[in-house]
Chains A and B, each alone.
Chain A
Amino acid sequence: MTAEIKLIFFRQLFEHHRDRRGPSFHNNNMAALCRGRHRWKSVKWTRLITRSVTGNSVLCAGVNNKAFIDGKYDYDVVVIGGGSGGLACSKEAAQLGLNVAVLDYVEPSAKGTKWGLGGTCVNVGCIPKKLMHQAALLGTAIKDARKYGWQISGPISHDWATMADAVQNHVRSLNWGHRVQLQDKKVKYLNMKGSLVDEHTIKALTKAGKEMTLTAKNIVIATGGRPKFPTNIPGAMEHGITSDDIFWLKESPGKTLVVGASYVALECAGFLTGIGLDTTVMVRSIALRGFDQQMAELVTDYMESYGTKFAWKCIPKRVEKLPSGALQVIWIDVMTGNEHKDTYDTVLWAVGRAPETKALGLNKLGVQLDKKTGKIIVGVDESTTVPNIYAFGDIGQGRPELTPTAIKAGKLLARRLAGRSTALMNYDNVPTTVFTPLEYGCVGLSEEEAESRHGKDNIEVFHAFYKPLEFTVAERDASQCYLKVICERDGVQKILGLHFTGSNAGEVTQGFAMGFQCGATYSHLLETVGIHPTTAEELVKVNITKRSGLDATVTGC
């Protein structure tokens, strides 16, 4: 070999060694060193020599290369999407000894908002949402505090910039945390947009346009979704924002119109009202589609009494920007057919989410998408119509759009890909909570679903209106604090669904979800002793049925 080739050869050896093991390789002890040496033996020397001589290396960014020789791929698994699911899957796979890379790229929103590693949940979803929800709840708590003896003088006001800054700083710390975790777990992280060239090749693009090609034995798609803009409303995209933008605003959104009645719309409207902003929710038909409608009505009733305005059965027609900078929205009342208009500082569209599949190039590979939703059709093992391509998380058709299910599904998929397990993800009995001002937690079937599956006569619904102790001194209205347990009418009376509105509904529901998972029955519930004084104990005390028609208000202690 000439001197040049020798130099390239040895550099390739080091780079190959380094990149497979990660920079912290030498921090490990002798055991790791031994593992490394074993890895060396499995590497094909002929492959390295060939690559050095031909000057090809997929490890050099910017060099376009389709490098798999002798049937070996660059990576065992490449995950496209660095969100809740993608990160969990890649870290688990790497821990099980696979060679993993994860690609994460955030296409800026229409307004130009972008964010770091972590996906929707960390950056523009659960985390900032819950923090802002907490900010709003604290506002209510301060008002209650006066009744409890706190000497708080004067009206209280909220500064958006302070809250947004604190929330955004926390999110950035999470971005960093995820980056460090990927490094520790030896996952190769690429801040690049991935698209599929064929079932084993991915083309990755940086923001600057530099290209890189990766080959993988298995490809996992976890790109999630993005908020939709309405297509038939002039001015919607130019003047409106979505949940991608609201959490990253530097200034207060001011008087806001939230269009939509999903949990995204209601949660956003909820905290905006809570921090003192004039907020209106425009609902086309019903609120919280897919959830139990009785509970949805309680949630929106509470929000209305809390100060959120609702424009029921209204559809926006167009959005115009006025010379003052404010937005004029013209809408139609579906019931009367009349047109109305009003001005707002911000219009927030929460009319659904679309799967991120366009940039992937799935059609030419034969990965089937659902015709209506555009999501990827997946099997029970997260497989797609192409053998070595998998998809899970929000992108999977029929899957819940939740972080915990994505994380769990990702980990199980990683174990299956590593050949360590055959366990499939169980998507049943998934609990969830809507973090509106009055929170709503549930697990299992809604009453409508239970009726349709089992028949109205074969179910028993135990329910209760309760008053949290904390509301008494604070003189707060508890009319919407309610719970119901839907059970089978006969036999052991297995619990089919559990629904609860109240403070800390998420905390309350989590524990009951475990009982649900274990197949709890109504008698199990009654056998459980309550913790006093809590609101959760009302669930184990519930005894009035809907069928009886009796007053379900809890009285006494």
Chain B
Amino acid sequence: MLNPVDHSPASRRDQFKAAVGNVAGERRRKQAIIIGKERRDAVVRAKRMRRADDNDEGMMYDEPFSDKIINEETVRAVQELKFLFSSSSKDSSQKKIEALRKLRRLLSCSSNPPVASAVEAGVVPILVKCLEFGSSDEQLVEAAWSLTNIASGDSELTLAILPALPLLIAHLGERSAAPVAEQCAWAVGNVAGEGEQARDLLSSQGALLPLAKLLLLNKPMLVKTAAWALSNIIKGPSSKAAVELFKVDGLSEAIIRHLTKGDEELVVEIAWVVVYITSLAESQTKLLIKSGLLPPLVAWLSSSESLSLLTPVLRSVGNLVAGDNSNTDALLDAAKDLPGGLFGCLVRCLGSEHRTLQKEAAWTVSNIVAGSLQHKQLVFGSRVVPTLLHLLATSTFDVRKEAAFALGNLSVMPAGESQLPQPIMEHLSMLVERGCLPGFINLVKSPDLEASRLGLQFLELVLRGLPNGQGSKLVEKEEGLAALEVLEYHDNDDLRSMANELIDKYYGEDYGLEEEYGPGIAEVVRGGEEYPSWRKGRGGI
């Protein structure tokens, strides 16, 4: 032996302890890609820069030039502009436009343009000047473009263009040329993407209605940008903007028209507007439904292959069914002629390779089956159930959790007045038969408190609902009792009480005895009878 014998209690115990490893740290180390915070923010935030057009001739500032040179060029360009727009200059407007264009190209040359240098050099006041009424369309577009890209940067940069807001908003009006209105909408959209306060500011400066009016037009590029900007303004958390939108006459019809006939990119942006309306503005949503929102919505849900499109469409449907039964009924009706109906569409999403679609589709189903008994029966009869079971067994945590909500909601009677909602035996027993228990028991073991709770609640249903103690046996068989036992020590009062309650009630002293020793054994054990009834024979004792 290498070590002298050690009789201390600690080391004796150590022999029996299972060793512990650390897997997560190693895996993280293996991930070689480091993404800088700036880069990450640029991707994640709700702001979009505009790159140079493909057919733009003239000098393009990309690969061959270093950052240093680009910054220097930018500063020089700003200074040139300063001179051109000062009162002492007598230069033609053409020269001014050329200078603006040069600046704009610098500010859109790469995915990380020198906007900070430009702002530092004092470009914003000049650009504001360029937005004056009476300026040529070209000048307005170039100035707004530069402002757009400045506003696509971090908070500091976005807020730097606030002085330009009143003019940008003014140029959203009906008399502006389409390219001008579009570029101004883009800049406004970036400011809205900054945050709640910026959104409130924009609303108070009157950006909302002009933008909404742009949706009435038939110009795809413009409508697309305006819709995107609008989605950034109305996304809340306050519902005020989403509601106020509808002050514009004909907005509902316009939204539905674009949803039905627009090209895919346009439909995507309009769908996001619908997402926020359905989430925040209840009566306006009803208005949209009345105007015919649902047919095109479900049509896209049924036919689209594009993740960009499916995401907002599915989410809109999800928001709708999170409302009330009448929305669900309306959707079912609108989709009745599509292959598989509404559930066929949802099965497509559930079976998608994209986790987000799966998760949000499962959430949608969970809200549908939280409706009437008829809704539950309709879902039960569809292909949704096998798909959900598969997800519960195999998918990632967030998807499994939603699938669990859906399957559980499917298994209980509608939440009515009663203290104890009854399980729907037909549904519950089928789900158990099809092997849903391991998935729920896995959730019980999860560190996420909500998931664990969910698992326990489903187990309770099974234990209570299945007759003749079948529930107890099945749960134990799938290691459910083991999972409950671990929770006996849990520091969360709720979980601990729940687990103990289940163990006490369904795995109490009498558990397992009847099967082993026949009926009547419980009385013997408790001391009331000496022999179980089957032992007593014809004469009795």
Q: Does chain A bind chain B? A: no
